[in-house]
Each structure stands twice: as structure tokens, then as C-alpha cells.
């Protein structure tokens, strides 16, 4: 792989987390008050699935029974992750929900690690996330149900990474479109049961379509591009750029200035992301040199 190509997964994940942050903020501001967390998840994931099914037309490609099972588990985890995360945002602060959810990919990074150097990137990312945790909140007073939803989202995020990696040999459009279809089957019935006919409002449909494009279809497609080029642990660590990107977006769009500790956190997370990418790439190159040609 050329040096330029080695930056593709970094750019893909950076684009994914940026779009996700913008789309999620829009969804919470515009859709939560009208259709709740369940309805928001339904229109977001439902429209994302529809967009990608129409664009990629996955029925054109054959799918083995084993791959179909993998994609089904990947999609179910994706749907459950989205639903649980939005449910957590109803009762606990956004920053704490993100911090709890990130225990999922960090756990994947830790348990799938095979080299001592990988633990350094995990440590850097975990330290950065700890610094970003809004310590002004008394965690003991947080809603237990909200915290459990965030923890469930972390578990489903870890499952999503694992089965996404197993499906990464498929064309990205194939696996992502089918995965989102399965995710929609999981969350749309929940949203319909909660919000009912309110989901058919022209305003809800138009907003949901925009949110779906920005916060689901684009990020998930970019994540699959990254998964095809990175190990599970490298992807898990690099995905921890999300709180750093969110902080930068808040500075640019909401005029929220950061403390020295928060800037340090951003530096640590970006260092972990770049370091994990470099380490993973060198590991692939070393393995290629060892294997007979």
C-alpha cells in the first residue's frame, strides 16, 4: 500500500465521526421533541437503509449463508446500538453517554491486542476520554436506566465492530446496505409503536431524510472503508476520535471554548489514533515480508 493510501482509513474515520456528530446534534434538536428517542432512531435508520438499498442494490451480489448470518448480526447490533444510545440521551448528559459508550470499542481494542505497543495506544485513548468526561456532574445522581442504556450501546458497538470486520471482505455497499436493512427491521417497529402516525408528518420525514444521510448512511459507509484496511483494535482506537471531533465542532459551531485539559485530551486521542494506524500498517507490512511469496 502506498503512503498516500495508508491515510485512507484515517480520513474515512475522521469523515465518519464528523458527519455523525453533526447529524446527531441535528436529530436531537429537531426530532427528539416531536417523536422521541425511539421515533428519531426509526426515521434515521429507516431512511438510511432505504437510501443505501436504492443506491447499492445489494440484490445484485450473491451472498452465502455464512455471510448472510454475519451481516444479519452486524445489522442487528447496529440497530440496537443506535436505539440504546438515543434512549440514554433522554436522561443522562451527552458527554457521559458518549464516554460510557466508548467502553465498547476500547474493550475490542484491548482484548484483540497482540503487541505491547498496542496497549500504549489504548492507554492514550482511555486517558483522553477520561479527561473529556464532564466531571462537573455527580455520576452517583445519574439516572440508572440511562446509564444502562449507554452501557448496552457500548456492548452493541463492540459487537458491531467485530461482525463488521468479519463482513469486510464483502463490497462495502453490499454489507452496509443489507446491514442497515436489518437494523431498520430492529428499530422501526419500536419507533412506530412509540410515535405512531407522527412519523408520517412531512416535517418529520424531510428532517429524518436529511439526518439519515448525514448521521448514518455516510458515516457507516466510511467506517466500512476503514474496516477493510484496519485491524479490529486499530479501528476501535481510531474511532475514539469522535469525542475530540465533537469538541472541535462545538468550538467552531457553538462557540464553546475548551480548557487546557480538554485540549490535552484531544491531543492524546489523536496521538492514539494516528499511532494505532501506523502500528497496524507496519504490522501488515512485517507479516507480508515474513510470509513466502
Per-residue model confidence as pLDDT tens for the chain (293 residues): 555 666 777 788 888 888 888 888 888 878 999 999 999 999 999 998 998 899 889 999 999 999 999 999 999 999 999 999 999 988 877 767 777 887 888 778 777 666 777 788 788 878 877 776 655 555 556 688 988 998 999 999 999 989 988 988 888 788 989 999 999 999 999 999 999 999 999 999 999 999 988 987 788 778 878 877 776 667 766 776 776 776 676 667 656 566 677 678 778 877 777 677 666 656 555 544 444 44
Whole-number pLDDT of residue 29: 79
Q: What is the dihedral of CA 53, 210, 89, 39, to 10 degrees?
A: -70
What's the alpha-carbon Rg for the chain, to the nearest Å?
A: 19
Half-sphere exposure of 17 (CA within 13 A, CB side): 25
User: With a threshold of 0.85, does the pTM exceed it?
Assistant: no
| Of 220, 290, 187, residue with least CA distance to 12 | 220
| Of 149, 117, 119, 150, residue with least CA distance to 286 | 117
Contact by Cβ (8 Å): 167, 67 = yes
Q: Is 289 exposed, middle or buried (0-12, 13-18, 19+ CB in 10 A)?
A: exposed
How many residues appear in the chain? 293
CA angle 189, 193, 198 (to 5 degrees): 105
CA distance 106 to 122: 7
Amino acid at each position: 500500500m502506498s503512503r498516500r493510501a495508508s491515510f485512507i482509513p484515517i480520513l474515512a474515520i475522521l469523515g465518519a465521526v464528523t458527519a455523525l456528530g453533526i447529524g446527531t446534534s441535528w436529530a436531537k434538536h429537531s426530532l427528539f421533541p416531536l417523536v422521541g428517542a425511539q421515533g428519531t432512531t426509526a426515521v434515521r435508520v429507516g431512511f438510511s437503509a432505504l437510501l443505501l438499498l436504492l443506491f447499492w442494490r445489494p440484490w445484485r451480489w450473491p451472498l452465502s449463508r455464512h455471510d448472510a448470518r454475519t451481516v444479519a448480526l452486524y445489522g442487528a447490533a447496529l440497530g440496537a446500538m443506535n436505539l440504546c444510545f438515543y434512549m440514554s440521551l433522554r436522561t443522562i448528559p451527552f458527554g457521559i453517554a458518549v464516554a460510557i459508550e466508548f467502553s465498547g470499542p476500547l474493550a475490542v481494542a484491548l482484548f484483540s491486542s497482540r503487541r505491547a505497543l498496542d496497549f500504549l495506544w489504548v492507554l492514550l485513548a482511555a486517558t483522553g476520554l477520561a479527561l473529556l468526561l464532564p466531571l462537573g456532574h455527580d455520576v452517583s445522581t445519574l439516572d440508572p436506566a440511562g446509564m444502562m442504556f449507554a452501557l448496552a450501546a457500548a456492548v452493541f458497538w463492540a459487537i458491531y465492530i467485530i461482525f463488521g470486520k468479519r463482513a469486510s471482505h464483502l463490497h462495502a455497499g453490499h454489507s452496509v446496505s443489507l446491514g442497515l436493512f436489518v437494523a431498520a427491521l430492529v428499530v422501526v417497529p419500536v419507533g412506530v409503536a412509540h410515535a405512531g402516525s407522527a412519523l408520517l408528518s412531512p416535517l418529520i420525514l424531510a428532517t429524518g431524510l436529511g439526518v439519515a444521510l448525514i448521521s448514518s448512511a455516510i458515516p457507516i459507509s466510511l467506517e466500512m472503508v476503514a474496516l477493510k484496511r484496519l485491524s479490529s483494535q486499530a479501528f476501535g482506537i481510531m474511532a475514539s476520535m469522535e469525542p475530540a471531533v465533537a469538541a472541535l465542532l462545538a468550538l467552531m459551531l457553538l462557540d464553546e471554548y475548551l480548557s487546557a485539559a480538554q485540549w490535552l485530551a484531544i491531543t492524546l486521542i489523536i496521538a492514539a489514533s494516528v499511532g494505532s494506524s501506523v502500528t497496524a500498517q507496519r504490522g501488515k507490512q512485517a507479516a507480508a515480508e515474513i510470509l513466502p511469496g
